[in-house]
Amino acid sequence: MGKVTMNVKLLEMSRNAISLIYVACRQCYSEKFAGEVFLDSSVNIEKQEAFVKSIVASGHQSPLEHVKFTFAIEGVSRALTHQLVRHRIASFSQQSQRYVKEKDFDFIIPPVIERNPEAKNEFEKLMAAIQQSYTKLLAFMGQDNISGEAANQDARFALPQAAETKIVVTMNCRELLHFFQARCCSRAQWEIRQLANMMLDICKEKLPAVFSEAGAKCETLEYCPEGEKFCCGKFPAKA
């Protein structure tokens, strides 16, 4: 039981991503069959990348939906995943507190609490107390011959949002751009912003033609849409 660190690993991304986006977009305007265009070696990958960059810049994003990324994520809180699963155009497979007993759960400490020694001590005491109570609840149910997932599913009601969880996330490129716009913003909650930035770094490395300019909304708008009250100052607020 203790504090854990966020870890993000790319499990898989669509093969031939640039060619997939290129062909999908070309099909919209071409008499040719996409299956033939995909196999046409006369258009090299450099030309395809330049074309994909141009369609991303133009805002023509529907062809981006044909390419997806799948991430394995650990060392994040349930508070984070409650926000993450609000992104509807995505697939999620999360570690279950019903099937996985939290016999010695790890947790995430918010930085503002960790910076204050007294607050950190109180937080860690609370986590230890919850663990004790959770274990007792399982024992009490065991006395009534309730065990396994039947016990876990009710004992988990006592667990905190700080409890560490693991999740597999799949998003297509269009949804990832939207995710980064919303969650890389300085107004986003600190933990999901950290996750978004780690995912963005991976996407920029693997598919720069799509993600080289990705990030918070202000990065592409060159102004802050949040208004003066919430503007971080990186870009001017919208007049």
Q: Give catalytic residues, as residue numbers.
A: 183
Find tokens 């560490």 and name the residue.
164
Cα–chain-centroid distance for residue 203?
A: 12
CB 237 within 8 A of CB 224: yes
CB 163 within 8 A of CB 67: no
Residue 120 CA to residue 126 CA, distance in Å, equals 10
CB 207 within 8 A of CB 173: yes
Residue 181 CA to residue 203 CA, distance in Å, equals 14
DSSP string, 136-198: HHHHHHHHTT--HHHHHHHHGGG--TTBEEEEEEEEEHHHHHHHHHHHSSTTS-HHHHHHHHH
Judged on CB neighbours under 10 Å (0-12, 13-18, 19+), 233 is exposed
What single-letter amino acid sits at 115?
R
CB 6 within 8 A of CB 75: yes
